[in-house]
Amino acid sequence: MKIISKETIISTAKNLLSDGIETNRKTITFPVTFNGELYYSKEAEIMENEGEMWTMYTVDGKQWLIRIEEKVYDLGIYPKVYTGD
């Protein structure tokens, strides 16, 4: 079984946040492929159903975090992603 690297997961999460996504939830669950593309990305050209689902979250609505192997990583501040309750 292949495992997606922590760097690929973090990079994909940051790309999703910086691409202008908006949500009224404090969590975002997203798929990551082994080459670091989102499943729904045209560039991914998925031939097989391979990848992993990951969840990032915010506590204050601005700073986004992700937990990988019991360690929390700071993804950065993206104040326009969380639109409120």
- pLDDT for 33: 82
- pLDDT for 29: 93
- pLDDT for 74: 98
- Local mean pLDDT, 10-residue blocks, the chain (85 residues): 86 92 94 70 56 93 96 97 87
> What's the rounded Cα separation, in Å, for the pair 25 and 31?
17
- pLDDT for 37: 62
Q: Which residues contact 26 (CB under 8 A, 6 or more apart)?
A: 57, 58, 59, 61, 82
